Structures are given as C-alpha cells and as structure tokens.
Amino acid sequence: MDDRHFMNMALDLAVKGQGLTSPNPMVGAVVVKDGQVVGTGYHEAAGKAHAEVNALEDAGRLARGADLYVTLEPCNHTGRTPPCTRRILAAGIRRVIAAMKDPNPGVAGGGAEFLKQQGVEVTLGVGEDRARKLNEAFIKYVRTGCPFVIAKCAATLDGRIATRTGDSRWVTGPAARQFVHRLRHAVDAIMVGINTVRSDDPSLTTRLDSGQGRDAVRVVLDTHLSISPQARILRQRSAAQTIVVVGGVPAATKKAAVEKTGARVIAVELKNNLIDMQALMERLGALELTSLLIEGGSRVLASAFAAAVVDKVLFFYAPKILGGDDGVPICSGPGPERMSACVAVTDVSVQRFENDVLIEGYVEKS
C-alpha cells in the first residue's frame, strides 16, 4: 500500500474532530510498521493531546522504527500542549509523512525542518488538497485573524428565499436541512439579521437525526438593538452564546434587557448606515471564532458580498417556482450595473439532496 492510502486513513480520522477542535485544526495520524497499521489517533478537542501523541500512545513500543502519517506538519512549539516533534523523536519514528505544512506564518516548516535535523526522514504534500479543504477555516484564520465565511441560502428555482409574507418553511426538503444542521455542528458561529429573527423567530441550534451535535455561537445583526427579549434565539438552553451586534452605543435599558437573557451585546462601527462587515469579522476573529455561517437574510447576504468577506457559497435550489416578482430575493438592495462586476465563484461542485440541488463554490478573490 502506498503513502496516499495511509494518509487517507489519517484524513478520515481527522474528520472525527469536526466541530470540536476550534480554534485548533482537525488532525489525524496513523502509525505504520512493515506495511501494517499499529496505531491511530486524532485531535479530539482544543487543549487535549494532538493527533500524533494519541497515535503514538496507541502504537506503544511498536512505534520504534515505524512511519508516522499525519495530516498536518507536527508542531515544534509549545502552545496548550508540548511540541509533538519531541514526542515523535522519543518514540523512535524513522519517517514522517505530512499532508501539508502548518499554515501559520510564524511556524510553517519549523516542525519538518527540526525533524530533518534530527535525522528523521520527512515527506510533505501527500494528500495536500484534501487536507487543505478539511482545514480551510483554520488556514484563513491563522493567516488573517478573521473567520472563514460561508454564505448559505435555500431558494426556489426563480431565486426567492421566501414569499412576500416572509414564509420560508420549508424551501428545501429534510435531507438538505439535515446537511445544514451538520454544517452548524462544524462551524463556530451562525449569523442572521434582525429581519430574519422577526419573521422566522429561529432557534439556530443544531438538531441532528442522531440527537448529537454541538451548537454554534449565534450572531444577530441588529443595528438599533430592536430585538425582543422574548425572541427564541435569546431563550435557548444551549452551551453556545448569543451575540447581538449593534451600531454605535445602544440605550442602556435595551442593552440591559437583552443581556439579562444571557446574551452579549457588542458594538461595531457603521458603514453606509449598516454594520461594517470587515470590522465585524475582525471582532469575531478576536473572539477565536474561526468559521462563520451566514444563514440570512437577503440584506445580510448582500452586505457580506458587497464587503467581500465571503469565502465560500452554499446555494440550495429546490424544484419549486414561486412565479412572482414579489417574493424575497437571495440578495436585496442595489447590485452592480454590469455583469463584469458580479461576484465570481470558482471551483464549483454540485450535489443532490433528494430533489434539491446544492451548488458549492469559492468566491474568487481579486
């Protein structure tokens, strides 16, 4: 079996940490000796042992003289845990195969170089494409300090996310909605605008068929702090916090009423009378939120695209036609005058969820 086979095993292990490791990356590791797997492990949660350590402990004495497959370059610095490179040397690993370098500009290449200096053979780049996609949020966060932003919508074939009355239940079917709940489990935060809160009164919790799942931090854009303290989003029995983002300094009585529910109110400067999206991303990044799912509504999506903060799009289309021009569009407000000024999407892929179609792609950065 070749290196790619064992690296795919390590990548499969890494996925087990989805939704649990932030602000750390998802990492998997496999120890192989004489063509046989003798140890496996993955990073289970931030603050817990790294994947390499778990795999080496699983292998025990069989690690000496073995190969270590790991989805990210082993760390050579002390963070919440000691350097993995020292543990690799102590275990007697002869060869390390890593899918990609650590994307953190301050430490990239350091672990691989240290191991080479100590006589360990190091191979980089096996399974790199899959490894980079797995940790696309972590990569952006460590390079920019801002979360990786996903814009998601569910629309009819004629591009409407709700009827003129605001009714949007349900545009897509159960399979597509379960995918979204898995996505909620995976991201650090979910964001909606106050109009979505008023019209839908959403919970924005994670509800998987398995009954498991982690809630993401809920973020509401509410420039004038008009949210009702009775809103469902403020009344969840959830370990995840709700953050209400306002523009300027809110009235003390309103702020106190919202904070009494356990929510947090933060002020972000305005731009064109709307929350400054770039400034907000910096604030959310400072809170160690590495990924953000924008779920609506149309004004929030339009504002995010206009501010060029979106990295990835997930647009669901249901086989339905509203048949009028008075429904709620995916994005609302003025758009560009020419097609050449549209937001370009690249690396497009298509999936089906029963009769619904998901178009996934990445926003082309200039």
Q: Which residues are catalytic?
A: 52
Q: Is the peptide bond before 170 cis (omega within 30 degrees of 0)?
A: yes
Report the C-alpha gap between 217 and 251 in whole angstroms: 24
Which amino acid does the sequence have at 364?
Answer: E
Please report the DSSP string for 171-188 in residue order: SS-HHHHHHHHHHHHHSS
Report the C-alpha gap between 128 and 158 in whole angstroms: 38
Which element (helix H / strand E) includes 144? helix 136-144
Phi-psi sector, 7: left (phi>0), alpha (psi -120 to 50), beta = alpha
Report the C-alpha gap between 336 and 328 in whole angstroms: 19
SS3 (DSSP) at 97: strand
Cα distances from 53 to residues 31, 131, 302, in angstroms, run: 11, 19, 45
Q: Cβ distance 31 to 63 under 8 Å?
A: yes
Q: What is the Cβ-side half-sphere exposure of residue 33, based on CA atoms within 13 angstroms? A: 17
Report the C-alpha gap between 265 and 241 in whole angstroms: 11
- Number of separate helices (H) and strands (E) present in the chain: 11, 18
Report the C-alpha gap between 255 and 126 in whole angstroms: 51
Token pair 């305005």 is at which residue?
Answer: 270
Q: Is the peptide bond before 25 cis (omega within 30 degrees of 0)?
A: no
**Hey, which residues does 228 pair with through a beta bridge?**
none
Please report the DSSP string for 273-291 in residue order: TEE-HHHHHHHHHHTT--E
